[in-house]
Amino acid sequence: MTLSIKTENSLLKQDEIAFVAGTHYPAIVDADDKALAEMRKRIRDLQEKERTFVRQMRRSIRGKADARGASFPGEVERPSRRKQVWAQAAKRLNRETARRRAIAAHEEMKDAARRALALKADGKAKARPADKTASDGMIAIESRKRRFSVNRAKVGSVSQAGKRAQARRDAKGA
């Protein structure tokens, strides 16, 4: 479930609020690619730190590990929500990076199509050679398969012989 900006701000510290604000709409579009890459790295580090903290806290609640610091409360909800804030920020950054890559790929495709069209137009202007330049071409190889043909006159005589034999058999029985 998506968290509102107000909820995000209530979960984060002051410096983190300013950092996450850079991943929201107007600011994320204005950032350059290098800044986006740096933000993605930092967000992933913070998300990993929060994930590790939540896992450790869950283990300590179950009694499988020692508590991590004496001042932390014994519930996991707030750190889990903080982890969700970092995950959403990473998702926004990934989506913006993918959008920029798609735009760059589209522009590259358009440039390639323009270059291909220019090359095609230049190719039409060139004249063909005056003399024939083709080689002898492929050599026909005769099939080694045996040709079998039946004399066309025999085809009808065979069926006629069958009719006559059947007629003789029928005449004997009657």
- Any domain includes 20: yes
65: left (phi over 0), alpha (psi -120 to 50) or beta: beta
- Any domain includes 89: yes
Terminal-to-terminal C-alpha distance of the chain: 94
pLDDT at 171: 92
pLDDT at 27: 93
- Any domain includes 120: no
CA angle (49, 53, 58) in 5-degree steps: 150
pLDDT at 73: 60
Alpha helix stretches (DSSP H) within 31-146 = 33-62, 77-125
- Any domain includes 154: no
- Any domain includes 21: yes
pTM for this model (two decimals): 0.63
pLDDT at 143: 84
- Any domain includes 140: no
Residue-number span of the structural domain to which 61 is assigned: 5-99
- Any domain includes 167: no
pLDDT at 69: 66
pLDDT at 72: 58
pLDDT < 70 stretches in the chain: 69-74, 125-129, 133, 174
Q: Give how many domains the chain has, as a whole number.
A: 1
- Any domain includes 169: no
pLDDT at 97: 97
